[in-house]
């Protein structure tokens, strides 16, 4: 695409300028078309990928799961990879962990469609096992492309595998959650994967919910800054109510 696309855009630009359209208007339109073309190419590459064992294991991974949501959003959420339900549905965070995440987003006055949600891995590992660094690296090029296209103002990393994509030296999410990190000028907030919150009980559950909610609120505020009028942000109480369940995904 890199060869013929510039030629196509140049041809369209010359034609529109010759027809009397203003250069800034033409440039803006062609920039939008170029971005759509890159998104289309990225999705095709993801859906056709066979680079790692996950994508070749048809029993574990029945389809690729690209990112979803608002591709112009200032707020990007990055998780580990598809689970069993996500693999069936084909959309990130649509299992029980995604239900909890969506409840939290709604409490912030956000819908899933307003933000961009993706995973480091685009295929489900067998038995939801934790991928090793080399496996993450193989799939990481897709996430790098998403970052370049979305250009988020803040990233919320959900779980250890997600944060290790950005900062491989991190050993435990508990050591750094709630602390702002910088990735090439983009603020990154590490926090628990929703699956971790769902695995907790009693006092541990209440603490995990409040920590997770605090991290989410911080990331939300950083992403939108003063651009979004919001109602007072509610407390974390009740976030995990009626969302009991287990998952094998790591923190």
pLDDT tens profile 126-181 = 777 787 777 788 888 999 999 999 999 999 999 999 999 999 999 999 999 999 99
| pLDDT higher at 105 or 53 | 105
Query: Does the structure show a pLDDT above 50 at 250?
Result: no
Q: Give residue-wise pLDDT tens across range 58-102.
A: 767 889 999 999 999 999 999 999 998 999 999 999 999 999 999
pLDDT for res 243: 45
Reported confidence tier of residue 233, pLDDT bands at 50, 70, 90:
low
pLDDT for res 247: 42
Query: Does the structure show a pLDDT above 80 at 232?
Result: no
**132-147: buried (b, 16+ CB within 10 Å) or exposed (e) per residue?**
eeebbebbeebbebbb
CA–CA separation, 23 vs 16, rounded Å?
9
Q: Give residue-wise pLDDT tens across range 11-36.
A: 999 999 999 999 999 999 999 999 99
| pLDDT higher at 208 or 2 | 208
Cα-to-chain-centroid distance, residue 28 = 26
What CATH fold (topology level) applies to the domain 56-224? Uracil-DNA Glycosylase, subunit E (3.40.470)
């Amino acid at each position: 695409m890199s060869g013929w696309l510039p030629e196509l855009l140049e041809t369209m630009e010359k034609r529109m300028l010759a027809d009397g359209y203003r250069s800034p208007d033409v440039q803006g339109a062609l920039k939008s078309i170029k971005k759509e073309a890159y998104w289309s190419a990225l999705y095709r590459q993801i859906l056709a990928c066979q680079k790692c064992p996950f994508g070749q294991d048809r029993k574990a991974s029945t389809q690729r799961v690209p990112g979803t949501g608002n591709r112009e959003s200032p707020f990007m959420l990055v998780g580990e990879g598809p689970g069993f339900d996500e693999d069936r549905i084909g959309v990130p965070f649509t299992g029980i962990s995604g239900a909890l995440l969506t409840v939290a987003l709604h409490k912030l006055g956000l819908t899933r469609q307003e933000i961009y949600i993706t995973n480091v891995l685009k295929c489900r590992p067998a038995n939801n096992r934790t991928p090793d660094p080399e496996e993450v690296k193989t799939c990481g090029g897709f996430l790098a492309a998403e970052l370049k296209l979305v250009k988020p103002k803040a990233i919320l990393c959900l779980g250890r595998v997600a944060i290790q994509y950005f900062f491989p030296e991190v050993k435990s999410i508990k050591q750094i959650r709630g602390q702002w990190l910088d990735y090439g000028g983009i603020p990154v907030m590490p926090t628990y994967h929703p699956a971790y919150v769902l695995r907790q009980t009693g006092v541990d559950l209440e603490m995990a919910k409040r920590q997770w909610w605090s991290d989410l609120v911080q990331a939300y505020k950083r992403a939108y800054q003063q651009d979004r009028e919001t109602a007072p942000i509610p407390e974390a109480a009740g976030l995990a109510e009626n969302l009991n369940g287990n998952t094998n995904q790591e923190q």
